[in-house]
Amino acid sequence: MEENILIFGHKNPDTDSICSSIVKEILNKKNGCEKSKAVRLGAVNKETQYVLNYLGIEAPELIEKVEEGQKVILVDHNEFNQSVEGIQNAKILGVIDHHRIANFETSDPLYYTARPYGCTSTILYKEFVQKGIEIEKTEATLMASAIISDTLLFKSPTTTEHDKKALEELGKIANINVEEYGLEMLKAGTDLDDFSEEQLINIDAKSLEKDGTKFVIAQVNTVSIEDVLKRQEKIKAVINKTIEEKGLSLFVFVVTDILNSNSEVIALGSRTDAVENAFDKKLVDNRMFLEGVVSRKKQVLPVIDKNI
Protein backbone atom coordinates (compact mmCIF):
# COMPACT_ATOMS: atom_id res chain seq x y z
CA MET A 1 0.00 0.00 0.00
CA GLU A 2 1.21 3.44 -0.96
CA GLU A 3 2.13 5.39 2.16
CA ASN A 4 1.24 8.70 0.58
CA ILE A 5 -2.23 10.18 0.57
CA LEU A 6 -3.28 9.70 -3.06
CA ILE A 7 -5.25 12.54 -4.64
CA PHE A 8 -7.16 11.91 -7.85
CA GLY A 9 -10.09 12.98 -10.01
CA HIS A 10 -12.51 10.75 -11.91
CA LYS A 11 -11.89 8.09 -14.52
CA ASN A 12 -11.46 9.47 -18.05
CA PRO A 13 -9.94 12.52 -16.42
CA ASP A 14 -10.69 15.93 -17.84
CA THR A 15 -8.69 19.10 -17.27
CA ASP A 16 -10.39 19.87 -13.94
CA SER A 17 -9.70 16.36 -12.63
CA ILE A 18 -6.00 16.47 -13.51
CA CYS A 19 -5.32 20.11 -12.64
CA SER A 20 -7.28 20.04 -9.38
CA SER A 21 -5.44 16.95 -8.14
CA ILE A 22 -2.07 18.59 -8.82
CA VAL A 23 -3.25 21.81 -7.17
CA LYS A 24 -4.58 19.94 -4.13
CA GLU A 25 -1.17 18.30 -3.74
CA ILE A 26 0.49 21.72 -3.88
CA LEU A 27 -2.03 23.19 -1.43
CA ASN A 28 -1.58 20.32 1.04
CA LYS A 29 2.20 20.59 0.88
CA LYS A 30 2.12 24.35 1.41
CA ASN A 31 -0.15 23.57 4.34
CA GLY A 32 2.37 21.18 5.89
CA CYS A 33 1.04 17.84 4.64
CA GLU A 34 4.10 16.50 2.80
CA LYS A 35 2.68 13.05 2.12
CA SER A 36 0.18 14.19 -0.51
CA LYS A 37 0.58 12.83 -4.04
CA ALA A 38 -1.55 13.56 -7.11
CA VAL A 39 -2.23 10.58 -9.36
CA ARG A 40 -4.64 9.97 -12.26
CA LEU A 41 -7.07 7.25 -13.29
CA GLY A 42 -6.68 7.45 -17.06
CA ALA A 43 -5.04 8.96 -20.11
CA VAL A 44 -4.38 12.71 -20.25
CA ASN A 45 -6.55 14.26 -22.95
CA LYS A 46 -5.23 16.71 -25.51
CA GLU A 47 -6.70 19.74 -23.83
CA THR A 48 -5.04 18.88 -20.53
CA GLN A 49 -1.79 18.02 -22.32
CA TYR A 50 -1.82 21.55 -23.74
CA VAL A 51 -1.86 22.90 -20.17
CA LEU A 52 0.91 20.59 -18.96
CA ASN A 53 3.05 21.47 -21.98
CA TYR A 54 2.43 25.17 -21.42
CA LEU A 55 3.74 24.83 -17.86
CA GLY A 56 6.39 22.28 -18.74
CA ILE A 57 5.24 19.87 -16.06
CA GLU A 58 4.67 16.11 -16.07
CA ALA A 59 1.30 14.45 -15.78
CA PRO A 60 0.63 12.73 -12.44
CA GLU A 61 1.40 9.02 -12.28
CA LEU A 62 -1.27 6.65 -13.59
CA ILE A 63 -2.80 4.21 -11.11
CA GLU A 64 -5.15 1.31 -11.80
CA LYS A 65 -6.47 0.50 -8.34
CA VAL A 66 -5.93 1.14 -4.65
CA GLU A 67 -5.28 -1.36 -1.87
CA GLU A 68 -7.47 -1.79 1.18
CA GLY A 69 -6.95 1.01 3.71
CA GLN A 70 -5.15 3.29 1.22
CA LYS A 71 -5.60 6.92 2.27
CA VAL A 72 -7.17 8.94 -0.54
CA ILE A 73 -8.63 12.35 -1.33
CA LEU A 74 -11.12 12.58 -4.19
CA VAL A 75 -11.40 15.70 -6.31
CA ASP A 76 -14.00 16.49 -8.99
CA HIS A 77 -16.10 13.38 -8.29
CA ASN A 78 -17.57 11.31 -5.51
CA GLU A 79 -19.55 8.48 -7.12
CA PHE A 80 -17.73 5.19 -6.60
CA ASN A 81 -18.52 4.01 -10.13
CA GLN A 82 -16.54 6.99 -11.46
CA SER A 83 -13.65 6.38 -9.11
CA VAL A 84 -10.71 4.03 -8.77
CA GLU A 85 -11.00 0.27 -8.45
CA GLY A 86 -10.92 -0.63 -4.75
CA ILE A 87 -12.38 2.70 -3.59
CA GLN A 88 -14.94 0.86 -1.40
CA ASN A 89 -12.15 -0.34 0.88
CA ALA A 90 -9.96 2.76 0.79
CA LYS A 91 -9.84 5.26 3.64
CA ILE A 92 -11.39 8.41 2.17
CA LEU A 93 -9.96 11.37 4.09
CA GLY A 94 -11.59 14.04 2.00
CA VAL A 95 -13.58 15.04 -1.04
CA ILE A 96 -13.55 18.34 -2.93
CA ASP A 97 -16.22 18.34 -5.58
CA HIS A 98 -18.87 20.30 -7.44
CA HIS A 99 -21.23 17.48 -8.46
CA ARG A 100 -24.32 15.94 -6.92
CA ILE A 101 -23.62 13.31 -4.25
CA ALA A 102 -24.64 9.71 -5.00
CA ASN A 103 -23.27 6.17 -4.81
CA PHE A 104 -20.91 7.38 -2.12
CA GLU A 105 -20.41 6.33 1.47
CA THR A 106 -17.80 6.15 4.18
CA SER A 107 -17.60 4.40 7.53
CA ASP A 108 -15.87 7.34 9.22
CA PRO A 109 -16.27 11.12 9.40
CA LEU A 110 -14.24 12.98 6.78
CA TYR A 111 -13.54 16.33 5.15
CA TYR A 112 -16.12 16.90 2.43
CA THR A 113 -16.34 20.22 0.66
CA ALA A 114 -18.92 20.42 -2.11
CA ARG A 115 -20.02 23.67 -3.64
CA PRO A 116 -22.46 24.14 -6.56
CA TYR A 117 -19.83 26.02 -8.59
CA GLY A 118 -18.74 25.45 -12.16
CA CYS A 119 -15.39 23.90 -11.30
CA THR A 120 -13.51 22.11 -8.52
CA SER A 121 -10.59 24.52 -8.92
CA THR A 122 -12.84 27.42 -7.93
CA ILE A 123 -13.33 25.71 -4.55
CA LEU A 124 -9.58 25.17 -4.26
CA TYR A 125 -8.91 28.80 -5.12
CA LYS A 126 -11.14 29.82 -2.21
CA GLU A 127 -9.30 27.41 0.08
CA PHE A 128 -5.99 29.12 -0.74
CA VAL A 129 -7.55 32.51 -0.03
CA GLN A 130 -9.29 31.46 3.20
CA LYS A 131 -6.16 29.86 4.57
CA GLY A 132 -4.04 32.82 3.47
CA ILE A 133 -1.72 30.58 1.42
CA GLU A 134 0.16 32.22 -1.45
CA ILE A 135 -0.92 31.24 -4.98
CA GLU A 136 2.05 30.96 -7.33
CA LYS A 137 2.08 30.98 -11.12
CA THR A 138 1.98 27.20 -11.61
CA GLU A 139 -1.10 26.54 -9.49
CA ALA A 140 -2.75 29.73 -10.78
CA THR A 141 -2.37 28.49 -14.37
CA LEU A 142 -3.62 25.03 -13.44
CA MET A 143 -6.71 26.40 -11.68
CA ALA A 144 -7.40 28.93 -14.44
CA SER A 145 -7.18 26.15 -17.06
CA ALA A 146 -9.59 23.94 -15.11
CA ILE A 147 -12.11 26.77 -14.82
CA ILE A 148 -11.82 27.64 -18.53
CA SER A 149 -12.33 23.97 -19.40
CA ASP A 150 -15.33 23.31 -17.15
CA THR A 151 -17.11 26.57 -17.98
CA LEU A 152 -16.15 26.58 -21.68
CA LEU A 153 -14.89 30.13 -21.18
CA PHE A 154 -18.11 31.07 -19.30
CA LYS A 155 -20.39 29.81 -22.10
CA SER A 156 -21.63 26.93 -19.98
CA PRO A 157 -24.72 27.56 -17.80
CA THR A 158 -22.83 25.87 -14.96
CA THR A 159 -20.74 29.04 -14.67
CA THR A 160 -21.24 30.95 -11.40
CA GLU A 161 -20.05 34.34 -10.19
CA HIS A 162 -17.57 32.45 -8.02
CA ASP A 163 -15.92 30.94 -11.11
CA LYS A 164 -15.77 34.28 -12.88
CA LYS A 165 -14.17 36.01 -9.93
CA ALA A 166 -11.70 33.18 -9.38
CA LEU A 167 -10.65 33.10 -13.05
CA GLU A 168 -10.20 36.85 -13.11
CA GLU A 169 -7.83 36.73 -10.13
CA LEU A 170 -6.04 33.60 -11.30
CA GLY A 171 -5.54 34.96 -14.81
CA LYS A 172 -3.63 37.89 -13.33
CA ILE A 173 -1.36 35.69 -11.22
CA ALA A 174 -0.83 33.28 -14.13
CA ASN A 175 -0.11 36.27 -16.34
CA ILE A 176 -2.23 34.96 -19.21
CA ASN A 177 -4.74 36.58 -21.53
CA VAL A 178 -7.63 34.39 -20.41
CA GLU A 179 -9.60 34.65 -23.67
CA GLU A 180 -6.66 33.91 -25.96
CA TYR A 181 -5.08 31.22 -23.83
CA GLY A 182 -8.49 29.67 -23.21
CA LEU A 183 -9.49 29.41 -26.87
CA GLU A 184 -6.14 27.83 -27.76
CA MET A 185 -6.53 25.34 -24.93
CA LEU A 186 -10.12 24.43 -25.81
CA LYS A 187 -9.27 24.03 -29.48
CA ALA A 188 -6.36 21.75 -28.61
CA GLY A 189 -8.91 19.49 -26.95
CA THR A 190 -11.18 19.30 -29.98
CA ASP A 191 -8.69 17.65 -32.31
CA LEU A 192 -10.42 14.28 -32.39
CA ASP A 193 -9.21 12.93 -35.74
CA ASP A 194 -6.65 10.44 -34.51
CA PHE A 195 -8.99 8.87 -31.93
CA SER A 196 -10.55 5.53 -32.78
CA GLU A 197 -14.34 5.40 -32.34
CA GLU A 198 -13.77 3.29 -29.23
CA GLN A 199 -11.51 5.97 -27.76
CA LEU A 200 -13.88 8.74 -28.81
CA ILE A 201 -16.81 7.46 -26.77
CA ASN A 202 -14.53 6.99 -23.75
CA ILE A 203 -12.74 10.36 -23.69
CA ASP A 204 -15.16 11.68 -21.11
CA ALA A 205 -17.71 8.97 -20.32
CA LYS A 206 -19.67 9.11 -17.07
CA SER A 207 -21.05 5.82 -15.74
CA LEU A 208 -24.29 6.21 -13.86
CA GLU A 209 -26.77 3.99 -12.11
CA LYS A 210 -30.32 4.57 -10.90
CA ASP A 211 -32.45 1.92 -9.23
CA GLY A 212 -30.32 -0.77 -10.83
CA THR A 213 -30.51 0.76 -14.33
CA LYS A 214 -27.00 1.34 -15.65
CA PHE A 215 -26.38 4.09 -18.18
CA VAL A 216 -23.54 6.15 -19.56
CA ILE A 217 -23.44 9.78 -20.69
CA ALA A 218 -20.31 10.54 -22.69
CA GLN A 219 -19.32 13.91 -24.07
CA VAL A 220 -16.78 15.32 -26.52
CA ASN A 221 -16.13 18.93 -27.44
CA THR A 222 -15.58 20.00 -31.02
CA VAL A 223 -15.54 23.02 -33.30
CA SER A 224 -17.50 21.02 -35.90
CA ILE A 225 -20.24 18.54 -34.99
CA GLU A 226 -20.41 17.56 -38.67
CA ASP A 227 -16.80 16.57 -38.61
CA VAL A 228 -17.27 14.18 -35.68
CA LEU A 229 -20.50 12.67 -36.93
CA LYS A 230 -19.28 11.80 -40.37
CA ARG A 231 -18.13 8.70 -38.49
CA GLN A 232 -21.54 8.11 -36.95
CA GLU A 233 -22.09 4.55 -38.21
CA LYS A 234 -18.84 3.35 -36.71
CA ILE A 235 -19.54 5.28 -33.51
CA LYS A 236 -22.96 3.65 -33.21
CA ALA A 237 -21.40 0.22 -33.69
CA VAL A 238 -18.93 0.64 -30.82
CA ILE A 239 -21.63 2.13 -28.59
CA ASN A 240 -23.81 -0.94 -29.20
CA LYS A 241 -20.86 -3.17 -28.41
CA THR A 242 -20.26 -1.29 -25.14
CA ILE A 243 -23.94 -1.54 -24.21
CA GLU A 244 -23.80 -5.29 -24.64
CA GLU A 245 -20.49 -5.78 -22.84
CA LYS A 246 -21.37 -3.63 -19.83
CA GLY A 247 -25.06 -4.50 -19.57
CA LEU A 248 -26.13 -0.88 -20.08
CA SER A 249 -29.71 0.21 -20.65
CA LEU A 250 -28.69 3.46 -22.30
CA PHE A 251 -25.65 5.13 -23.82
CA VAL A 252 -25.85 8.83 -24.63
CA PHE A 253 -23.02 10.35 -26.66
CA VAL A 254 -23.08 14.15 -26.56
CA VAL A 255 -21.11 16.03 -29.22
CA THR A 256 -20.82 19.66 -28.14
CA ASP A 257 -20.00 22.57 -30.44
CA ILE A 258 -18.01 24.85 -28.13
CA LEU A 259 -18.04 27.79 -30.54
CA ASN A 260 -21.80 27.92 -31.14
CA SER A 261 -22.89 26.36 -27.83
CA ASN A 262 -25.09 23.57 -29.20
CA SER A 263 -24.98 19.79 -28.99
CA GLU A 264 -26.01 16.80 -31.04
CA VAL A 265 -26.62 13.55 -29.18
CA ILE A 266 -26.58 9.93 -30.25
CA ALA A 267 -28.66 7.72 -27.94
CA LEU A 268 -28.73 3.93 -28.07
CA GLY A 269 -30.01 1.13 -25.84
CA SER A 270 -33.35 -0.13 -24.55
CA ARG A 271 -34.10 3.08 -22.61
CA THR A 272 -33.73 5.79 -25.27
CA ASP A 273 -37.26 6.79 -24.20
CA ALA A 274 -35.59 8.51 -21.21
CA VAL A 275 -33.77 10.83 -23.63
CA GLU A 276 -36.89 11.55 -25.68
CA ASN A 277 -38.90 12.30 -22.55
CA ALA A 278 -36.07 14.36 -21.06
CA PHE A 279 -36.01 16.76 -24.00
CA ASP A 280 -39.60 16.23 -25.18
CA LYS A 281 -38.35 15.52 -28.67
CA LYS A 282 -38.15 12.43 -30.88
CA LEU A 283 -34.87 10.80 -31.81
CA VAL A 284 -34.45 10.50 -35.55
CA ASP A 285 -32.15 7.70 -36.54
CA ASN A 286 -31.07 7.69 -32.86
CA ARG A 287 -29.93 11.32 -33.13
CA MET A 288 -31.22 14.56 -31.67
CA PHE A 289 -30.05 18.19 -31.95
CA LEU A 290 -30.11 20.21 -28.72
CA GLU A 291 -30.04 23.96 -29.21
CA GLY A 292 -28.11 25.79 -26.49
CA VAL A 293 -27.17 22.65 -24.60
CA VAL A 294 -23.51 22.41 -23.58
CA SER A 295 -23.48 21.22 -19.96
CA ARG A 296 -23.84 17.53 -19.22
CA LYS A 297 -24.06 18.21 -15.50
CA LYS A 298 -26.72 20.88 -15.67
CA GLN A 299 -28.60 20.36 -18.92
CA VAL A 300 -28.31 16.67 -19.74
CA LEU A 301 -27.74 14.42 -16.72
CA PRO A 302 -30.53 15.67 -14.40
CA VAL A 303 -33.29 15.51 -17.04
CA ILE A 304 -32.29 12.06 -18.25
CA ASP A 305 -31.85 10.83 -14.68
CA LYS A 306 -35.39 11.94 -13.85
CA ASN A 307 -36.76 9.93 -16.77
CA ILE A 308 -34.86 6.70 -16.05
- What residues line the site for a second copy (CB under 8 A)? 98-117, 130, 297, 302, 305-306
| CA distances (Å), origin 125, targets 18, 109, 121 | 15, 24, 6
> How far does Cα 96 stand from its chain's mean position?
13
| CA distances (Å), origin 124, targets 75, 143, 222 | 10, 8, 28
**Residues 229/218, Cβ–Cβ less than 8 Å:** no
What is the Cα–Cα distance from 221 to 121, expressed in whole angstroms? 20
Q: Which helix (H) or strand (E) holds 307?
A: helix 301-307
> Minimal distance in Å, beta carbon 31 to a second copy?
15
> How far does Cα 257 stand from its chain's mean position?
17
Strands, E, within the chain: which ranges? 5-8, 36-40, 61-62, 71-75, 91-97, 111-114, 205-210, 213-222, 250-257, 262-268, 287-290
> Minimal distance in Å, beta carbon 156 to a second copy?
13
Tell me whether residue 16 is exposed, middle or buried, using C-beta atoms within 10 angstroms of its C-beta: 0 to 12, 13 to 18, 19 or more: buried
DSSP letters of 257-304? Answer: ETTTTEEEEEEESTTTHHHHHHHT---BTTEEEETT---IIIIIHHHH
> Which is closer to a second copy, CB of 146 or CB of 192?
146
> Minimal distance in Å, beta carbon 248 to a second copy?
20
